[in-house]
Amino acid sequence: MKAITNTNFGKYLLIGLTFLSAFSAWSQEEEAEKKFTLSGTVDAYYRANLTAPNDEDAIAPGSSFANLPGFSLGMANLIATYEGEKVGFVADLVFGPRGTDAVFASPMYSMTGNIVNQLYVYWNVSESVTLTFGNFNTFLGYEVISPAANFNYSTSYLFSYGPFSHTGLKADFDLGNDWSAMLAVMNPTDLTEFNPTGDYAVGAQLGYSGQYLNFVYSQGAYEIDYTGGFDVTEDFYLGVNAAYFDDEDLGFAGVALYPQYSTSENFALGLRAEYFVETGDYGAIGTGLEDSSVLAVTLTGSATVGDLMIKPEIRLDSASDDAFINNDLDPTKSLASFLLAAVYSF
């Protein structure tokens, strides 16, 4: 009898250990599917005008982010992500002048200003549907806020005067065969902390094989945007962005081409050629006149040293009317400038 008892006990013990091992393996697999990461960038730059003063009279093109004179700070960007099998979140925080420019319309609720670039949760409802709820960077435009994700360090007029971020609910759909779509309902453009107006914006996107047609409507204004690119050869890439914005008597339109050529694994050259025109005195170019336009050509080199990117850049802005000044402080239509940026990613 004792031998039988011991045998049964050993059998139960073996079953128990097997169950615990299976549960432990299942738990570890579940934990492995949940992944927390912390990443981001740190950047700084030096900027100098070549055809205009660099003292208290220093000026810069009317585009965002790289417009401070001398040795200047970009931002520290900290991105915390938690990725589960079905759900997760992104908390994207920015510190410094570039970050302040990115959240320019969002110190409404925080008395000391805002450091939130993105803050959202998401749910993978199925393999083809994802819901995102919160504050997320815009789906319009070729360029983004992060300096590590742009080839050129300075930004275009098209990017600078389109929306940076939205707060709301969006649904992304994988339609198969390289087709995708997105629908969104959001606060009015640039109101990312809360909604003080009671109005709402709507957005939509249709994508095919890396080419995207975007639309947003907010408080009577709308923007249509095309963003895409093509691998011409293994080493040569061509990006394209075109947009039209209309807000009754004010607005803008423009197109930008981004040819980029990799000379080696650690160095590439990129050009941004942009034509931007205002409707009425929109105020982007800074002439104070109606229907002004500007041609901006930016040549950027990008050298990679480990996780550090070094970007020398020469930029020429040529407007249809006097938008700048020369070294004699006289009004002029053009401005040439030089910039050297360093961007570290982790």
- Answer whether residue 18 shows pLDDT above 60: no
Measuring CA to CA, which residue among 32, 31, 36 is closest to residue 88?
A: 36
What CA–CA distance (Å, rounded) separates 84 from 121? 11
Q: What is the DSSP letter of 337?
A: E
Q: pLDDT category, 6, cuts 50, 70, 90?
A: very low
313 alpha-carbon distance from chain centroid: 20
CA angle 160, 229, 203 (to 5 degrees): 55
Q: pLDDT category, 24, cuts 50, 70, 90?
A: low
Q: Kindly report the average pLDDT of the chain as a whole number.
A: 91
Amino acid at 126: S
Structure confidence by residue, pLDDT tens digits, 171-186: 999 999 999 999 999 9
Q: Tokens at residue 48, please? A: 């100098």
What CA–CA distance (Å, rounded) separates 189 from 167? 9
Q: What is the DSSP letter of 12?
A: H
Structure confidence by residue, pLDDT tens digits, 271-293: 999 999 999 999 999 999 999 99
Helices (H) and strands (E) in the chain, counts: 3, 18
Question: How many CB atoms sit inside 10 A of residue 170's CB?
Answer: 22
What is the average pLDDT across 216-220?
A: 97
- Answer whether residue 23 shows pLDDT above 80: no
Provide, rounded to the nearest whole percent, the portion of the chain with pLDDT above 70: 90
What is the average pLDDT across 144-170?
A: 96
The answer to whether 147 and 343 are in contact (CB under 8 A) is yes
Q: Among 33-42, 73-82, 130-139, 331-340, name the one with the lowest average pLDDT.
A: 33-42
What CA–CA distance (Å, rounded) separates 99 from 77? 8
The answer to whether 258 and 272 are in contact (CB under 8 A) is yes
Strand partners, 87: 123
Q: Tokens at residue 210, please? A: 């890396």
Q: pLDDT category, 324, cuts 50, 70, 90?
A: very high
What CA–CA distance (Å, rounded) separates 217 from 166? 12
Measuring CA to CA, which residue among 137, 143, 148 is closest to residue 160?
A: 143
Amino acid at 150: N
**Superfamily in which the 41-345 domain is placed by CATH:** Porin (2.40.160.10)
Structure confidence by residue, pLDDT tens digits, 55-112: 989 999 988 799 999 999 999 999 999 999 899 999 999 999 999 999 988 877 766 6
